[in-house]
Amino acid sequence: MWDDAFPSFLIGLREGLEAGLIVSILVATLVRSDQKSRLPQVWTGVLAAIALALSFGAVLTFTAANLSGTAQEAFGGTLSLIAVAFVTAMVFWMRRSARNLSSEIREKVAAALTMGGGVLVLTSFLAVGREGLETSLFLWTTARSAGESTGPAIGASVGLVLAAVLCWGLYRRVLKINLTRFFTYTGMVLIVIAAGVLSYGLRDLQEGGVLGGGHSYAFDLSGSLDAGSWYATLVQGVLNITVTMTWLQVVAYLGYLAVVMTLFVQGLRATAPKPAPVEAKAEASPSTRNRWLLPAALVTVPAVVAVAVIAASGGKPATAATVAVSDDKNECGKGFSTPQPGQQTFQMHNTGGKTSEVYLVNPSTNAVYGEIEGLAPGTTRPLTATIGSGDYAWRCVPTGGDAVTSAAVHVSGGAAVKAVAPVSEDDLKAPLAAYKAYVQSGLATLLTQTQKLQADLAAGDLATARTDWLTAHLQYSSLGAAYGTFADFDKKINGRADGLPDGVNDKDFSGFHRLEYGLWHNQGPAELAPVADQLSNDVDGLGKAFPTQDFDPTDLPLRTHEILENSLQFELTADTDEGSGTNLATVQANLAGTQELLTVLQPLIQPRDADGLTTVNADIARVTALLAAAHHADGSWTPVQQLDAATRAQLNGATGQLLEDLAPVPDLLEIRKSA
């Protein structure tokens, strides 16, 4: 985690200091000119810029989360290149402007003060907003390359806090900083970091299919170095250099570093104050040599230290045996000898010509102890598994080919190790058929309920329509696991106003939430009856189309937690409330849909994780009890917004715990080719 914090710390420090300097000069100018009453204008612009930066980060996260795996790689790679461009431009601009930064800022501030409050707000907004957007983009890119957000978030936070402290010290005149030297040195470090981000971004684009050469490796040290070691993790976290890199990555890394660092160092001479004329000398001056000292050290010192650490540690641990993966029966599992009991790391090297999956299995039961998917030819990846008493073999499954199994070895001693019994597509056929029958029956009931709602509005009975609206909406919400197969019908039936040009007044806003808005915002039957008619038609169309639509069996295990993820994100935040205050009723319906799904999957879950299923059932009972407390005898529900803070936190916590305990189910029931 901490190795991933440094790049974000540096960005937070630099960007925070740049934005903070402008804000502190704005504040100082207002204070000294006896215009403290205008300080709220500065803080308004600052807060608006912070909100913009946070929103931008949320949009990046949400967008990436809703893309396919390949599209995520392409999206992330593109943003990495944009982040490199921003960082490079920032480094050069600050190198050029640092010497006169304070005077330039004061000129802008003076101009803003003479042009009214709006310009003052805009000046502070732009000052912080630009740096905030750059920070959000770089932080998102760093978190994605790290595979986790905690380290980058902590690093950026510490950098921003330190920048705020430095700006306060400068403002109070208790601190002096040579800004030119500070931005020069940090700029050199950022150039090295940006080279790694560029390399990582290009690898993403290769894996996303945008660029070729994904299997043309300049080097693959995974057979000699432990990719999970502390030193490999540190180098990857800070510099984005991995044990396996393609030619495109290496050329881009070295090319960027050579070109950009050279231009940066050469530019230092142009921006430095001109010394008095001296007699020309053939050799480089000490100042020229000094300018190259830090960038040379930034490149060579980490390399020398890395070599020394690797040499001292002996590279990869001796326990990490290299095992061949191949579609050749004589090659699959080659290098595998009887291991010792306990946790073992095997370096799986694909010696064949096809991308393969590989499983460590019990050859008699096909139970899986460990697995790797998508191992490309010529590459090596670690597989960690716990070895106990029993029989073990490797099963290699090449893409488009037949599975082959290595010779088995028997391990004596050690505790019994639980393995995952593989699930095949046939295993999911019965649960899928049962769930489809449940959905088909539920859609028939839903049609009857929406027709009742349609009749209420045709008769002008708004009170009954509100009651029947809730009944029908909860019925639909209990079918959550099938949303992925409802295609465009779900948007028509249960779509939200978010993102529509005219919001709740948009012509494309339809379905349950459109009726909810109208029924609880005093709209009349004449306006709502056509919406109910369309809803009834859409439900009827869905009921007729559903039997012919594809329902991927692998979606069933995924939906066990995805339904309640939506509840936590949209319902328990009241984000979908259009006036009825019935979000908690919808959560209860989502919970009922989750329980139905667990019921049909129970024959597969029970023998694989009986304890986990017991825990999930206890979690469901806890959430059910909390929801029941918000459901009153007259049928009404307490709106989420009216829950006291303690109850709301308790409900969110219980739902979050349930989601955490449901999270292993998709992996437990993943369709594996090891059988």
pLDDT of residue 279: 41
- In Å, what is the CA distance from 267 to each residue of 10, 74, 139, 263, 294? 22, 34, 28, 6, 15
Q: Taking residues 207-233, report their average pLDDT.
A: 68
Per-residue pLDDT band for 117 (boundaries 50, 70, 90) equals low
Q: Report the b/e string of 544-561 with b at 16+ CB within 10 A.
A: eebeeeebebebbbbbbb
The answer to whether residues 110 and 150 belong to one domain is yes
Per-residue pLDDT band for 470 (boundaries 50, 70, 90) equals very high
Per-residue pLDDT band for 658 (boundaries 50, 70, 90) equals very high
The answer to whether residues 67 and 194 belong to one domain is yes
> Edge to edge, what strands does the sheet with 380-387 contain?
322-325, 342-350, 380-387
The answer to whether residues 492 and 545 belong to one domain is yes
> Residue 421: pLDDT above 60?
yes
| Position 302 in a domain | no
| Position 224 in a domain | no
| Position 274 in a domain | no
* Mean of the per-residue pLDDT values of the chain: 80
Most confident region among 28-42, 88-102, 187-201, 579-593 by mean pLDDT: 579-593
Q: Which helix (H) or strand (E) holds 611?
A: helix 610-628
Rounded Cα distance, 128 and 585, in Å: 42
> Residue 261: pLDDT above 90?
no
The tokens 């709740």 sit on which residue?
504
Choose the final residue of a domain: 173, 193, 212. Answer: 212
Rounded Cα distance, 369 and 120, in Å: 63
- In Å, what is the CA distance from 487 to each residue of 482, 545, 565? 10, 10, 20
The tokens 């030297």 sit on which residue?
181
**Is there a contact between 83 and 197 (Cβ–Cβ < 8 Å)?**
yes
> Which of 439, 538, 537 is closest to 480 using CA atoms?
439
**If you write DSSP's letter for every residue of 574-596 in order, what string do you get?**
TTT-SSS--HHHHHHHHHHHHHH
pTM: 0.53
> Residue 162: pLDDT above 60?
yes
For the domain that residue 393 is a member of, what is the CATH number? 2.60.40.420
The answer to whether residues 508 and 627 belong to one domain is yes
The tokens 């529900």 sit on which residue?
637
Between 527 and 308, the higher pLDDT residue: 527
Rounded Cα distance, 236 and 4, in Å: 8
pLDDT of residue 105: 61
21-35, 105-119, 162-176: range with lowest mean pLDDT: 105-119
One-letter amino acid at 284 equals A
248-252, 269-273, 504-508: range with lowest mean pLDDT: 269-273
Per-residue pLDDT band for 399 (boundaries 50, 70, 90) equals confident
For the domain that residue 508 is a member of, what is the CATH number? 1.20.1420.20
Per-residue pLDDT band for 281 (boundaries 50, 70, 90) equals very low
Q: Taking residues 531-557, report their average pLDDT.
A: 88
Rounded Cα distance, 7 and 643, in Å: 41
pLDDT of residue 500: 87
Contacts with 669 (C-beta within 8 Å, 6 or more apart), sequence order: 423, 428, 556, 557, 601, 604, 605, 608
Burial grade of 328 (CB within 10 A; 0-12, 13-18, 19 or more) = middle
The answer to whether residues 334 and 435 belong to one domain is no
The answer to whether residues 442 and 460 belong to one domain is yes
The answer to whether residues 391 and 437 belong to one domain is no
Choose the final residue of a domain: 419, 438, 468. Answer: 419
Tokens of 370: 């460990």
Burial grade of 28 (CB within 10 A; 0-12, 13-18, 19 or more) = middle
| Position 298 in a domain | no
> Which of 47, 49, 114, 56 is closest to 82 using CA atoms?
56
**Is there a contact between 75 and 63 (Cβ–Cβ < 8 Å)?**
yes
**Is there a contact between 333 and 394 (Cβ–Cβ < 8 Å)?**
yes
The answer to whether residues 432 and 414 belong to one domain is no
DSSP 8-state assignment for residue 174: S
What share of the chain has pLDDT > 70, as a percent?
77
Per-residue pLDDT band for 115 (boundaries 50, 70, 90) equals low
Per-residue pLDDT band for 277 (boundaries 50, 70, 90) equals very low
Rounded Cα distance, 347 and 253, in Å: 27
> Residue 142: pLDDT above 90?
no
The answer to whether residues 469 and 504 belong to one domain is yes
Question: Per-residue pLDDT tens for 221-239?
Answer: 665 565 556 566 667 666 6
Contacts with 610 (C-beta within 8 Å, 6 or more apart), sequence order: none
Per-residue pLDDT band for 302 (boundaries 50, 70, 90) equals low
| Position 270 in a domain | no
Backbone angles phi, psi at 383, to 5 degrees: -130, 120
pLDDT of residue 588: 96
Per-residue pLDDT band for 583 (boundaries 50, 70, 90) equals very high
The answer to whether residues 42 and 25 belong to one domain is yes
The answer to whether residues 394 and 533 belong to one domain is no
Alpha helices in 459-554 (DSSP H): 462-477, 489-494, 511-519, 525-545
Q: Report the b/e string of 343-369 with b at 16+ CB within 10 A.
A: ebbbbbbbbbebbbbbbbbbbeebbbb
The answer to whether residues 411 and 436 belong to one domain is no
Q: Which helix (H) or strand (E) holds 107?
A: helix 101-113
| Position 469 in a domain | yes
pLDDT of residue 298: 58
| Position 584 in a domain | yes
Give residue 374's domain range: 322-419
pLDDT of residue 434: 92
> Residue 172: pLDDT above 80?
no
Choose the final residue of a domain: 350, 384, 419. Answer: 419
Query: What total number of domains does the chain contain?
Result: 3
Q: Taking residues 399-428, report their average pLDDT.
A: 85
**Is there a contact between 492 and 476 (Cβ–Cβ < 8 Å)?**
no
Bridge partners for 370 per DSSP? 360
